[in-house]
Amino acid sequence: MSDTGDQPASRGAINFNTVFGIIGIVVGIALFIITPDQVERPRLLFGQKPSGLDPDFFPRLVAILFVITGGWLIWRARVLVEENRIRNLDSEAIVNVIVTLLGFLIMALVMPWLGFVISSIILLAVLSTFYGNRNLLAGAAVSIGVPLIFYNILRVWLQVVLPQNPFFPNILWF
């Protein structure tokens, strides 16, 4: 976004920044409202939570930040003068975004059955191939290594509950 002192938008004018700000506020409020129903409560360990953080903390923090940034964008949109370059995107960019979103949607749908690691490996392999990776060894190393690293960071160190691999449930790192 660029500020230009030439021709500020008139007060009350609605532009695409205002629309995205309103969408951010609506998403933030919806996320804040649904968080208690969507966040799984950890089991008690000796009558206490396994970690000191409330499971609602991070999703609620994200929801509040959505509302704050949406409000900030609405406030800034009053004086921003810029063109909407989203309209100028070529069809390849739109296809890339749609394929990526569909990949993440499919990953979210199959994750309960395949687990976090296997579904992430499949997603990374498909997307890296789609975006032009031709080195199969590097693609395989990244597609396998990154989910394993993230799984270990989230599951082992941060004790986040993730969908377990149904094929090898007793292997800690998988």
Neighbours of 62 (CB within 10 A): 14
For residue 157, what pLDDT is reported?
79
pLDDT of residue 103: 96
pTM: 0.59
* Distance between CA atoms of residues 99 and 109, nearest Å: 15
* Cα–Cα distance measured from residue 77 to residue 3, given in angstroms and rounded to the nearest whole number: 10
- Neighbour tally for 6: CB within 10 Å: 6
The whole-angstrom separation of Cα 92 and Cα 130 is 12
Tens digit of each residue's pLDDT (9 = 90 or more) over 54-111:
777 888 899 999 999 999 999 998 887 777 677 788 889 999 999 999 999 999 999 9
Percentage above 90 pLDDT, the chain? 41
- Residues 61, 97, 105, 152, Cα dihedral to 10°: -60
Question: In the chain, where are the structural domains located?
Answer: 1-88, 89-174
